[in-house]
Copies of this chain bind each other. A is one copy, B any other.
Amino acid sequence: MTLIDSIKTRRSIRRYSDKEVTDSLLNELLDLSARTQTMGNLQLYSVVVTRDKEMKQKLAPAHFNQPMVTGAPVMLTICADWNRTTRWCQERNAQPGYDNLLSFLNAASDALLYAQTFCNLAEERGLGVCYLGTTLYNPDAIIDTLKLPRLVMPIATLTVGWPDEQPALNDRLPLASFLHKETYRDYSVKDINLYYNLKESLIENQEFVRINKKENLAQVYTDCRYTSTDNEAISKTLLAALCRQGFLD
Protein backbone atom coordinates (compact mmCIF):
# COMPACT_ATOMS: atom_id res chain seq x y z
CA MET A 1 0.00 0.00 0.00
CA THR A 2 1.34 3.43 -0.96
CA LEU A 3 0.33 6.72 0.62
CA ILE A 4 -1.42 7.71 -2.59
CA ASP A 5 -3.63 4.64 -2.18
CA SER A 6 -4.18 4.87 1.55
CA ILE A 7 -4.98 8.61 1.53
CA LYS A 8 -7.85 8.09 -0.92
CA THR A 9 -9.77 5.99 1.58
CA ARG A 10 -8.52 7.44 4.83
CA ARG A 11 -10.91 8.13 7.68
CA SER A 12 -10.29 8.98 11.32
CA ILE A 13 -10.62 5.88 13.48
CA ARG A 14 -12.13 6.20 16.96
CA ARG A 15 -12.73 2.52 17.83
CA TYR A 16 -9.80 0.15 18.13
CA SER A 17 -9.44 -3.62 18.31
CA ASP A 18 -7.67 -5.43 21.18
CA LYS A 19 -4.67 -6.14 18.95
CA GLU A 20 -1.49 -4.73 20.46
CA VAL A 21 0.42 -1.84 18.93
CA THR A 22 3.90 -3.11 19.70
CA ASP A 23 6.65 -0.81 20.92
CA SER A 24 8.72 -2.07 18.04
CA LEU A 25 6.21 -0.88 15.41
CA LEU A 26 5.37 2.34 17.24
CA ASN A 27 9.01 3.28 17.70
CA GLU A 28 9.81 2.47 14.08
CA LEU A 29 7.08 4.86 12.91
CA LEU A 30 8.00 7.58 15.44
CA ASP A 31 11.63 7.34 14.37
CA LEU A 32 10.88 7.42 10.63
CA SER A 33 8.60 10.41 11.12
CA ALA A 34 11.64 12.36 12.28
CA ARG A 35 12.81 12.47 8.65
CA THR A 36 10.14 15.17 8.27
CA GLN A 37 11.30 18.68 7.40
CA THR A 38 12.25 20.70 10.48
CA MET A 39 13.42 24.26 11.10
CA GLY A 40 17.20 24.51 10.96
CA ASN A 41 17.26 20.74 11.60
CA LEU A 42 16.48 21.44 15.26
CA GLN A 43 13.46 19.08 15.58
CA LEU A 44 11.51 21.41 17.82
CA TYR A 45 9.10 18.78 19.15
CA SER A 46 8.73 16.05 21.73
CA VAL A 47 6.31 13.14 21.88
CA VAL A 48 4.84 11.87 25.12
CA VAL A 49 3.52 8.32 24.77
CA THR A 50 0.64 7.31 27.03
CA ARG A 51 -0.06 3.60 27.44
CA ASP A 52 -0.78 3.48 31.16
CA LYS A 53 -4.48 3.14 31.97
CA GLU A 54 -4.37 5.53 34.91
CA MET A 55 -2.59 8.15 32.84
CA LYS A 56 -5.29 7.88 30.18
CA GLN A 57 -7.93 8.38 32.83
CA LYS A 58 -6.11 11.44 34.12
CA LEU A 59 -5.91 12.90 30.60
CA ALA A 60 -9.49 12.06 29.66
CA PRO A 61 -11.21 15.09 31.25
CA ALA A 62 -8.85 17.45 29.38
CA HIS A 63 -10.22 15.85 26.21
CA PHE A 64 -13.87 16.13 27.33
CA ASN A 65 -13.88 12.39 28.11
CA GLN A 66 -14.05 11.42 24.46
CA PRO A 67 -14.23 7.60 24.64
CA MET A 68 -11.25 6.97 22.35
CA VAL A 69 -8.90 8.39 25.00
CA THR A 70 -9.38 5.44 27.32
CA GLY A 71 -10.34 3.10 24.46
CA ALA A 72 -7.14 3.49 22.43
CA PRO A 73 -4.08 1.37 23.21
CA VAL A 74 -1.79 4.35 22.64
CA MET A 75 -2.11 8.10 22.97
CA LEU A 76 0.53 10.46 21.65
CA THR A 77 0.79 14.04 22.87
CA ILE A 78 2.95 15.92 20.43
CA CYS A 79 4.50 19.06 21.86
CA ALA A 80 6.23 22.15 20.57
CA ASP A 81 9.55 21.90 22.41
CA TRP A 82 12.23 24.56 22.81
CA ASN A 83 13.27 23.16 26.18
CA ARG A 84 15.63 20.54 24.79
CA THR A 85 17.32 22.98 22.39
CA THR A 86 17.53 25.61 25.13
CA ARG A 87 19.12 23.09 27.52
CA TRP A 88 21.66 22.26 24.80
CA CYS A 89 22.47 25.94 24.30
CA GLN A 90 22.85 26.51 28.04
CA GLU A 91 25.28 23.59 28.31
CA ARG A 92 27.35 25.11 25.51
CA ASN A 93 27.63 28.64 26.83
CA ALA A 94 25.28 29.89 24.10
CA GLN A 95 22.50 32.41 24.88
CA PRO A 96 19.15 31.03 23.71
CA GLY A 97 16.32 33.48 22.90
CA TYR A 98 13.36 31.24 22.15
CA ASP A 99 10.80 32.50 24.65
CA ASN A 100 8.69 34.41 22.15
CA LEU A 101 5.74 34.13 19.74
CA LEU A 102 7.81 33.42 16.62
CA SER A 103 9.70 30.63 18.33
CA PHE A 104 6.45 29.13 19.62
CA LEU A 105 4.93 29.12 16.13
CA ASN A 106 8.09 27.66 14.60
CA ALA A 107 8.07 24.82 17.13
CA ALA A 108 4.32 24.29 16.74
CA SER A 109 4.90 23.99 12.97
CA ASP A 110 7.65 21.43 13.48
CA ALA A 111 5.39 19.46 15.84
CA LEU A 112 2.45 19.46 13.42
CA LEU A 113 4.50 18.47 10.37
CA TYR A 114 6.00 15.64 12.40
CA ALA A 115 2.54 14.57 13.60
CA GLN A 116 1.15 14.47 10.08
CA THR A 117 3.97 12.38 8.66
CA PHE A 118 3.40 10.00 11.57
CA CYS A 119 -0.32 9.78 10.64
CA ASN A 120 0.46 9.19 6.99
CA LEU A 121 2.97 6.45 7.82
CA ALA A 122 0.70 4.82 10.39
CA GLU A 123 -2.29 4.79 8.05
CA GLU A 124 -0.23 3.43 5.19
CA ARG A 125 0.62 0.55 7.56
CA GLY A 126 -3.05 -0.05 8.33
CA LEU A 127 -3.19 1.58 11.76
CA GLY A 128 -6.06 3.87 12.65
CA VAL A 129 -5.46 7.30 14.17
CA CYS A 130 -7.55 10.21 15.35
CA TYR A 131 -6.57 13.77 16.24
CA LEU A 132 -8.26 15.04 19.39
CA GLY A 133 -9.19 18.61 18.60
CA THR A 134 -9.17 19.37 22.32
CA THR A 135 -5.44 19.73 23.01
CA LEU A 136 -5.52 23.54 22.86
CA TYR A 137 -8.76 23.72 24.89
CA ASN A 138 -7.35 22.56 28.21
CA PRO A 139 -3.59 22.89 27.94
CA ASP A 140 -3.09 23.35 31.70
CA ALA A 141 -4.48 19.93 32.61
CA ILE A 142 -2.27 18.30 29.97
CA ILE A 143 0.81 20.28 31.06
CA ASP A 144 0.26 19.22 34.68
CA THR A 145 -0.47 15.56 33.96
CA LEU A 146 2.45 15.08 31.57
CA LYS A 147 4.76 17.32 33.67
CA LEU A 148 5.70 19.50 30.72
CA PRO A 149 8.39 22.03 31.67
CA ARG A 150 8.75 25.65 30.52
CA LEU A 151 9.11 26.03 26.71
CA VAL A 152 7.13 22.85 26.06
CA MET A 153 3.53 23.24 24.88
CA PRO A 154 1.11 20.44 23.90
CA ILE A 155 -0.01 20.98 20.30
CA ALA A 156 -1.67 17.81 19.02
CA THR A 157 -2.96 14.60 20.54
CA LEU A 158 -3.39 11.40 18.56
CA THR A 159 -5.06 8.17 19.55
CA VAL A 160 -3.54 5.17 17.78
CA GLY A 161 -4.61 1.55 17.38
CA TRP A 162 -5.76 -1.11 14.95
CA PRO A 163 -9.15 -0.17 13.46
CA ASP A 164 -12.29 -1.81 14.80
CA GLU A 165 -14.65 0.20 12.61
CA GLN A 166 -14.86 1.44 9.05
CA PRO A 167 -16.83 4.67 9.10
CA ALA A 168 -18.07 6.25 5.87
CA LEU A 169 -15.67 8.55 4.05
CA ASN A 170 -16.20 12.19 4.91
CA ASP A 171 -17.02 14.67 2.18
CA ARG A 172 -14.43 17.25 1.19
CA LEU A 173 -14.75 20.61 -0.53
CA PRO A 174 -13.84 20.60 -4.24
CA LEU A 175 -10.27 21.59 -5.09
CA ALA A 176 -11.46 24.79 -6.78
CA SER A 177 -12.83 26.03 -3.47
CA PHE A 178 -9.44 26.31 -1.78
CA LEU A 179 -7.11 26.74 -4.78
CA HIS A 180 -6.12 30.21 -5.91
CA LYS A 181 -4.00 31.00 -8.95
CA GLU A 182 -1.40 33.74 -8.48
CA THR A 183 -3.62 35.86 -6.20
CA TYR A 184 -6.44 35.16 -3.77
CA ARG A 185 -9.80 35.45 -5.46
CA ASP A 186 -12.46 36.21 -2.87
CA TYR A 187 -15.72 34.27 -2.86
CA SER A 188 -18.95 35.43 -4.47
CA VAL A 189 -22.36 34.27 -3.23
CA LYS A 190 -22.45 32.00 -6.25
CA ASP A 191 -19.08 30.45 -5.29
CA ILE A 192 -20.22 29.80 -1.73
CA ASN A 193 -23.42 28.14 -2.89
CA LEU A 194 -21.53 26.02 -5.39
CA TYR A 195 -18.79 24.87 -2.99
CA TYR A 196 -20.96 24.18 0.07
CA ASN A 197 -23.89 22.65 -1.79
CA LEU A 198 -22.71 19.04 -1.49
CA LYS A 199 -21.92 19.35 2.23
CA GLU A 200 -25.30 20.94 2.97
CA SER A 201 -27.20 18.33 0.98
CA LEU A 202 -25.78 15.28 2.79
CA ILE A 203 -28.42 13.40 4.77
CA GLU A 204 -26.22 13.20 7.89
CA ASN A 205 -25.70 16.96 7.86
CA GLN A 206 -29.41 17.63 7.38
CA GLU A 207 -29.94 15.37 10.39
CA PHE A 208 -27.47 17.52 12.42
CA VAL A 209 -29.48 20.60 11.51
CA ARG A 210 -32.73 18.93 12.58
CA ILE A 211 -31.38 17.58 15.90
CA ASN A 212 -29.87 20.94 16.80
CA LYS A 213 -33.03 22.77 15.76
CA LYS A 214 -31.16 25.15 13.50
CA GLU A 215 -32.02 26.65 10.12
CA ASN A 216 -28.96 25.29 8.35
CA LEU A 217 -25.56 23.61 8.71
CA ALA A 218 -23.55 26.83 9.08
CA GLN A 219 -25.62 27.66 12.17
CA VAL A 220 -24.79 24.27 13.68
CA TYR A 221 -21.13 25.31 13.48
CA THR A 222 -21.54 28.87 14.75
CA ASP A 223 -24.20 28.20 17.42
CA CYS A 224 -23.32 24.70 18.66
CA ARG A 225 -19.93 23.31 17.64
CA TYR A 226 -17.59 26.31 17.55
CA THR A 227 -19.24 29.29 19.16
CA SER A 228 -17.85 32.79 19.43
CA THR A 229 -18.24 32.66 23.23
CA ASP A 230 -16.25 29.42 23.56
CA ASN A 231 -13.60 30.59 21.10
CA GLU A 232 -13.05 33.84 22.98
CA ALA A 233 -12.89 32.11 26.37
CA ILE A 234 -10.52 29.38 25.17
CA SER A 235 -8.31 31.98 23.46
CA LYS A 236 -7.79 33.58 26.88
CA THR A 237 -6.92 30.22 28.50
CA LEU A 238 -4.55 29.53 25.65
CA LEU A 239 -2.83 32.89 25.96
CA ALA A 240 -2.38 32.27 29.68
CA ALA A 241 -0.93 28.81 29.00
CA LEU A 242 1.51 30.25 26.46
CA CYS A 243 2.61 32.74 29.11
CA ARG A 244 2.91 29.99 31.72
CA GLN A 245 5.10 27.93 29.39
CA GLY A 246 7.33 30.94 28.82
CA PHE A 247 6.53 31.77 25.21
CA LEU A 248 5.04 35.21 25.85
CA ASP A 249 7.23 36.61 28.63
List residues of A whose CB falls within 8 A of some B CB. Answer: 1-4, 7-8, 10, 12, 27, 30-37, 39-43, 45-52, 55, 79, 81, 83-85, 87-89, 91-98, 100-103, 105-106, 108-109, 112-113, 115-117, 119-121, 124-125, 130-131, 133, 136, 145-149, 152, 155-156, 170-173, 175, 177-184, 186-187, 189, 192-193, 195-196, 199, 215-219, 221-223, 225-229, 231-232, 234-235, 238-239
Contacts and interface: CB of A to CB of B under 8 A. Distances in A.
Given A112-B112, A112-B113, 9 more contacts: A8-B35, A31-B175, A40-B133, A43-B173, A87-B192, A97-B226, A102-B234, A108-B108, A113-B116
A206 B115 CA distance: 31
12 contacts: A4-B125, A8-B32, A48-B180, A49-B179, A84-B195, A89-B222, A103-B226, A103-B231, A105-B108, A105-B136, A146-B182, A147-B183
Given A178-B43, A184-B147, A3 B120 contact: yes
A186 B149 CA distance: 8
Contact of A226 (B8, B10, B40, B91): B40
Contacts of A1: 2
- Number of this chain's copies in the assembly equals 2
Nearest to A78: B178
A28 B83 CA distance: 39
B149 A45 contact: no
